[in-house]
Amino acid sequence: MARTNRRLTRSARYRSYTGGPDPLAPPVDISEALDAIGEDVMAGASPERAMREFLRRGGVDRTGLDDLARRVAERRRELTSRHNLDGTLRQAKELLDRAVLEERKQLARDVDLDDAERALSEMQLESLPPSVAAAVSELSDYRWHSSQARRDFEAIKDLLGREVLDQRFAGIKEALQNATDADRAAMRTMVDDLAELLAAHRRGEDTRERFEQFMAEHGRFFPDDPTDVEELIDSLAQRAAAAQRMRNSMTQEQRDELDALAQQAFGSPDLMASLGRLDAELRALRPGEDWTGSSRLDGDQGLGLGDGTGVFQDLADLDRLADQLAQSYAGSQLDDLDLDMLARQLGQDAALDVRTLQRLEQALRDSGVLRRSADGQLRLTPKAMRRLGRTLLRDVAERMSGRPGAWDVRRAGSAGEASGASREWAFGDTEPWDVTRTVTNAVVRTAASGGQTAHGVRIEMGDVEVQETEARTQACVALLVDTSFSMALEGRWVPMKRTALALHTLVTSRFRGDDLQLVGFGRYAEVMDIEQLVGLDVGYEKGTNLHHALALANRHFRRNPRAQPVLLVVTDGEPTAHLEADGEVWFDYPPDALTLARTVRELDVSMRLGARTTFFRLGEDPGLARFVDSMARRVEGTVVAPELEDLGVAVVGSYLGARGPRLFGEDEPGPFGGRGFWVG
């Protein structure tokens, strides 16, 4: 006995875990999701919508909801294109034809048969109507001479009885194979008792005891083992509604033929009367089920009544899954997905894909990269902005390091002061080691690999971290970005935001002494923090108010008189608006002479404040080209006309070059007219 118990315990220990999310599953990687969400947010989507769009699209190696929805649609299309609804009629006709053929053979062989009786039998067989139901009805009193023909004919009645029962009770068709008259009688008794139980429940009577008695007597007919009458009704009503949808999908001729044939089920119309009463009770108890729907099935494989009802249940499941996967209703969430239904229709791998997406969504919400604001909206946190900014800055660095004249310096101004940060050592670094971090890395690595640290640790190159330094040069930077509608219309909206975020990340992480101000200008200009700019949606008001933006930049420069002013202007259009003395906006197109004059006047103020100015001209507008060229000559500035994918490279390179020679040296030319290139 002890050996047996040990064997049972050991077998139970390795069963699949079904208590919720797999506690041993590795943590999900949110980096790809965060990058995709950031891109969508910069394109104008809310973080909530961006997250849902990523879950819908999926990742490089991660299935999304759209792919699962496609598989659901393919599964539905497969069911409807493979099957048709005449399976039972076809089977009945085959049995009838075989019975008639066997009877004719017997009549021809039977030499002892009276000629008159033979002639009468042959005449009856010859005059059978083309309708299978009518032919079966006419032959119900026929005296068969062939025992095989009689068995085939009785098989029609048995087939119909099992099919109509299988429509209501899944699996009964096989259970009643070779059933006796007693088995059929027990089945009819169960249907009558069930109808009475449901009628009592519909009247509001307490049916708990009655349900227990019913299950004790007829429970073998219900392998799903319902726990109460409500669960029993749910199961029966779903299948009965599917049977009705199957009937609705048939032609009128098919319905009439099957109705007539069904009266011959088990050789008596009593069964159909009992089933009709049962259907009526189920309709009354579950009016919310789909009793009126239909689907067209136009394949070659005929379905019996029971199998066809199962297919219509599958179609209903697939339709529900399609709605759940669409996530288009108010308050929708991934937890709404019925994973058991999904596994039943698409396999366990589909359910596993959804569980992974659920874990990813929860990880995004728990990671600190998304938060609920006071107005209830989901927003990117500063942590998410820093992470996204580092990714964008890394992309800028990779692009710049491959350009002629660009420097890929992996150290922050070595002649500067320690920034308090450290990073992993790379070949060519000359900064001093961060000893504390280096030793800590070695201890952690040794302990994680099972080694002993009591007698010291061995330092490997991967453990080494170096101190980062930042230059002493201080700059006061104003990045002016055009937020007019044309920027979005021409596909420049996201590159503009990516550029601003990359520059913001560079300044706040490597040049903390610099003061960066972001100004967006459309009809009005506005000082924005990075979260506001990244989440900015497209505006449809006309106007490019560079005059107002320059006025805000000059105010920023005046507040930092000891810093080097750096003015960076990203635009795709000539100034078409300016700010009046009363604060109202004047707009005109083509640009009004007064607008141009006031814009030039503010630019002259920037020059007197010592600003190093760079214009980033987007697009091929000749009017804009003439304007920015003349403005740059006026203030001894620079004009850059980058491709959209190089906008970030151009802005970052110009910022670094404009900070002055103290970091890079006078004779170190950088990209786009700058003085050199630094990247961390």
Same domain, 187 and 205: yes
Q: What would you measure as the largest C-alpha separation in the chain, in angstroms? A: 130
Domain end, chosen from 296, 330, 356, is at 296
Peptide bond into 590 cis (omega under 30): yes
* pLDDT averaged over 10-residue windows placed end to end, the chain, 680 residues: 45 53 60 76 71 82 88 93 91 94 91 85 91 90 92 90 88 80 86 93 93 92 90 93 93 91 80 88 94 90 90 93 85 84 92 87 75 65 74 74 46 50 73 85 84 80 79 80 89 87 86 91 92 79 91 95 92 92 88 92 94 91 90 92 87 80 39 35
Same domain, 33 and 109: no
- Count of CB atoms within 10 A of residue 381's CB? 15
Q: What are phi and psi of 637, to 5 degrees?
A: -100, -165
Q: What is the reported pLDDT for 21?
A: 53
Domain annotation covers residue 174: yes
The residue written with tokens 């909801």 in the block is 65
Domain annotation covers residue 680: no
In this structure, which amino acid lies at residue 72?
V
Same domain, 454 and 512: no
Phi-psi region of 170 (alpha: psi -120 to 50; beta: other; left: phi over 0): beta
User: Which residues, 6 or more positions from 566, have their beta carbon under 8 angstroms from its beta carbon?
Assistant: 475, 476, 477, 478, 611, 612, 655, 658, 659
> In which element (H, E) is residue 616 found?
strand 612-617
How many residues are there in the chain? 680
Name the 3-class secondary structure at 286.
coil
Same domain, 177 and 149: yes
Same domain, 112 and 146: yes
Same domain, 34 and 140: no
Q: What is the reported pLDDT for 70?
A: 94
Q: What is the reported pLDDT for 17?
A: 53
Same domain, 534 and 646: yes
Same domain, 526 and 506: yes
> In which element (H, E) is residue 52 found?
helix 47-57
Same domain, 535 and 628: yes
Question: In this structure, are strands 577-579 and 515-521 parallel, antiparallel, or unpaired?
Answer: unpaired
User: Which residues, 6 or more positions from 377, have their beta carbon under 8 angstroms from its beta carbon?
Assistant: 46, 47, 48
Helices (H), 511-621: 530-534, 546-558, 593-608
End-to-end CA distance of the chain: 69
Same domain, 123 and 229: yes
- Count of CB atoms within 10 A of residue 558's CB? 12
Structure tokens given for 132: 């299978």
Question: In this structure, are strands 612-617 and 638-640 parallel, antiparallel, or unpaired?
Answer: parallel
In this structure, which amino acid lies at residue 183?
D
Domain end, chosen from 408, 438, 469, is at 469
Domain annotation covers residue 393: no
Structure tokens given for 628: 């920015």
**CA 298 to chain CA centroid, nearest Å:** 31
Q: What is the reported pLDDT for 413?
A: 41
Q: What is the reported pLDDT for 452?
A: 78
Same domain, 230 and 121: yes
Q: How far apart are CA 407 and CA 396, in angstroms?
A: 12
Q: How far apart are CA 496 and CA 533, in angstroms?
A: 10
Domain annotation covers residue 329: yes
> In which element (H, E) is residue 6 found?
helix 2-13
User: Which residues, 6 or more positions from 131, have their beta carbon under 8 angstroms from its beta carbon?
Assistant: 257, 260
Domain annotation covers residue 264: yes
Name the 3-class secondary structure at 565.
strand
Structure tokens given for 578: 């300016």
Angle at 97 between CA 96 and CA 102, to 5 degrees: 100
Question: In this structure, are strands 577-579 and 585-587 parallel, antiparallel, or unpaired?
Answer: antiparallel
Query: Do 248 and 293 meet the contact criterion of CB atoms below 8 Å apart?
Result: yes
Domain annotation covers residue 441: yes
The residue written with tokens 């759940």 in the block is 324
Query: Do 382 and 508 meet the contact criterion of CB atoms below 8 Å apart?
Result: no
Angle at 530 between CA 525 and CA 532, to 5 degrees: 65
Same domain, 594 and 460: no
Q: What are phi and psi of 526, to 5 degrees?
A: -150, 135
User: Which residues, 6 or more positions from 390, have their beta carbon under 8 angstroms from its beta carbon?
Assistant: 505, 509
Domain annotation covers residue 274: yes
Phi-psi region of 676 (alpha: psi -120 to 50; beta: other; left: phi over 0): left
Domain annotation covers residue 662: yes
Q: What is the reported pLDDT for 245?
A: 94
Range of the domain at 342: 26-82+319-380
Q: Per the structure, how many domains does the chain have?
A: 4
Domain end, chosen from 434, 469, 504, is at 469
